[in-house]
């Protein structure tokens, strides 16, 4: 953990992983460096870009002393973010994806809230942005402009929905971020990376406020890898959910929280298997997939209690391959 040194002019560390986003990089970086609040550092982690981002990052480093640049071989979003966090020196940490952008008053508004409330974390609203510059507002979690969030509500909402997953809607005390934890065991996650790291944050923070203003503009990318279903994506999701389960155990939550977690877990597992089973081509690759998935499965007992629902959905799908693989699926969800 970093040492905490909060003052009336908090310093923000903004970590921005970069990989082949030349089209959007200028807009994203300038939305940070042109903030009305100036006490910041921008840590750009060039994750092995091959499209000219390397030179663009170096140019920003030379133009603005607040800009740090790390160049590394391609390791994926998760480890790129971790590299940036390790060298951060601010009071609060913010993650910005390099194809998104920030409101120019973002840090001014967050700083004012920090000075008044001294929270461990601020969760803020966001808007969607497309390539034509059109902005779509997102329904806020609460109607109040500023509201303290109950810890029980945070955990229950986090384990049962996706609305708190995103790292880029959070401003967190750097002293509470698990910067020294080794995440290399998770490899190249293409799905649920935000959920994985958010679990560690929610485990550490106590005082959390929600700020009902869209401070961040998320670019809705229809080509996102998470929209291309592959067997690996479910494995990634199971890895993250295993980490969430660790969080629940350490927090010693009530049984109803586990129920919410398992309901969400089962929906993910069930939906993937029914919708994407034919992607394996034949039975043997599916067995190999199940063997790997089983090592991360934490919801087997819950899913086994719902085996009748899974059987019904597979039979209803009228997919011969899916029906043939039913025995393999059953082994995945019952032997825990």
pLDDT-derived band of residue 290, with 50, 70 and 90 as boundaries?
low
- Sorted by where each begins, the domain ranges of the chain are 12-223, 229-334
User: Which two tokens mark 259?
Assistant: 């129920």
Exposed / middle / buried, residue 94 (Cβ in 10 Å: 0-12, 13-18, 19+): buried
Contact 322/274 with Cβ under 8 angstroms?
yes
User: Which two tokens mark 112?
Assistant: 């004012």
pLDDT-derived band of residue 276, with 50, 70 and 90 as boundaries?
low
Question: Tell me, what's the pLDDT at 286?
Answer: 61
Question: Tell me, what's the pLDDT at 38?
Answer: 97
Question: Tell me, what's the pLDDT at 184?
Answer: 87
Question: Tell me, what's the pLDDT at 94?
Answer: 98
Closest CA to 275 of 332, 321, 222: 321
Mapping DSSP to helix (H, G, I), strand (E, B) and coil, where does residue 167 land?
A: helix
User: Which two tokens mark 126?
Assistant: 């966001």
> Which residue has 């877990």 as its token pair?
265
Q: pLDDT tens digit string along 201-236?
A: 999 999 999 999 999 999 986 554 344 556 677 778
Average pLDDT on 188-198 reads: 86
- CATH label, 12-223, candidates 3.90.550.10, 3.30.450.20, 3.40.50.2000, 3.20.20.70: 3.90.550.10
- Global pTM reads 0.84
Contact 178/204 with Cβ under 8 angstroms?
yes
pLDDT-derived band of residue 297, with 50, 70 and 90 as boundaries?
low
User: Which two tokens mark 197?
Assistant: 């790291």
Strand partners, 91: none
Strand partners, 46: 18, 71
């Amino acid at each position: 953990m970093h040492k905490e040194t909060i003052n009336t002019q908090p310093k923000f560390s903004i970590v921005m992983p970069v990989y082949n986003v030349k089209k959007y990089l200028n807009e994203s970086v300038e939305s940070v460096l042109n903030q009305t609040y100036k006490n910041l550092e921008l840590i750009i982690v060039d994750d092995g870009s091959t499209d000219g981002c390397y030179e663009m990052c170096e140019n920003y480093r030379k133009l603005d002393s607040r800009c740090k640049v790390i160049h590394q071989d391609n390791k994926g979003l998760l480890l790129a973010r971790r590299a940036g966090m390790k060298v951060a020196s601010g009071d609060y940490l913010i993650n910005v994806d390099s194809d998104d952008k920030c409101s120019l008053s973002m840090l001014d508004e967050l700083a004012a809230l920090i000075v008044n409330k001294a929270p461990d974390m601020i969760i803020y609203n966001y808007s969607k942005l497309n390539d034509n510059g059109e902005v779509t507002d997102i329904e806020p979690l609460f109607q109040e402009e500023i509201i303290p969030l109950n810890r029980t509500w945070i955990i229950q909402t986090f384990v049962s929905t996706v609305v708190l997953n995103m790292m880029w809607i959070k401003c967190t005390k750097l002293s509470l971020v698990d910067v020294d934890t080794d995440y290399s065991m998770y490899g190249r996650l293409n799905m649920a990376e935000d959920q994985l790291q958010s679990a560690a944050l929610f485990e550490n923070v106590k005082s959390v406020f929600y700020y009902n203003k869209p401070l961040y503009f998320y670019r809705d990318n229809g080509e996102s890898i998470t929209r291309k279903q592959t067997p690996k994506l479910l494995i990634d999701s199971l890895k993250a959910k295993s980490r969430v389960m660790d969080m629940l155990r350490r927090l010693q939550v009530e049984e109803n929280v586990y129920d919410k977690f398992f309901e969400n877990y089962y929906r993910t597992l069930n939906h993937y298997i029914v919708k994407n089973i034919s992607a394996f081509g034949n039975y043997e690759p599916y067995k190999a997939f199940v063997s790997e998935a089983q090592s991360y499965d934490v919801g087997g007992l819950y899913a086994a209690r719902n085996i009748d629902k899974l059987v019904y959905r597979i039979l209803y799908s009228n997919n011969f391959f899916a029906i043939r693989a039913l025995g393999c699926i059953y082994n995945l969800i019952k032997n825990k």
